[in-house]
Structure 1
Amino acid sequence: RLGKSVHDAGWAQFLAMLEYKAQRYARVFVKAGRFEPTSQVCSACGVKDGPKPLHVRTWTCTHCGTVHDRDHNAAKNVKQAAGLAVTACRAQV
């Protein structure tokens, strides 16, 4: 039981350090929402394909036919979301 508390505290401290460093170097710190469906949205066309079980590691978009690795697709969506946030506030990340 204590392991989860230590993990949560460590993660919170890591995020606090990132935010502090961003402010120190005049950068913008942007967090993606915890429940953002980054692995369910096609990074090529933007269609939300819906939830999938965790054992599904690759999937094909039903709209455009692009084959996605779940983790790479999520990383592309997070990167795109960070770029949109930067564009909106015109700041460096």
Structure 2
Amino acid sequence: MLRATKYRIYPTTEQKLHLAQSFGCCRFAWNYALNLTNETYKVTVQGLGRFFILQEITNLKKEHEWMKEPYSQCLQVVALNLSRAFINFFEGRSAYPRFKSKHSNQSISYPQNVSIVEDGIKFPKMGIVHARLHRPIRQGAIRTVTVSMNASCQYFASVL
């Protein structure tokens, strides 16, 4: 059984800037891929698969230098989440995927290379972010860490 624990994190100013850039890049990739899927469906009446979306994200990184700032695995999770959103929609479990807004809650997922250290969480490309670890991690490996920011600019890390 997988168990998630949500911790409050306190990034430095530089880390907040990196997180803001990562949120923006992942949001841009999601919106670009969703728009491309919508346009392709109108023309061919077929959707796009996850691997085609991954290729398009790679092409975006070649076109835009700023797309190389976030951790590459975060952008790959965008393709996985979008394909899963369409599968859930077509199987009747959820609504049609919507575009992401800059003015609401932001989140990104780190699927690997994240570890818990004494007084924080160590992320790739960002280093150690101070966290209030109020509950110990039970046995098992860390699967995914989702970093989110709410409307009050408070940062949280959900460790799965």
Greater RCO, CA 8 A, separation 6+: 2
Shorter-chain TM-score tier: 0.3 to 0.5
What's the TM-score once normalised by structure 1's chain length? 0.32
More strand by share: 2
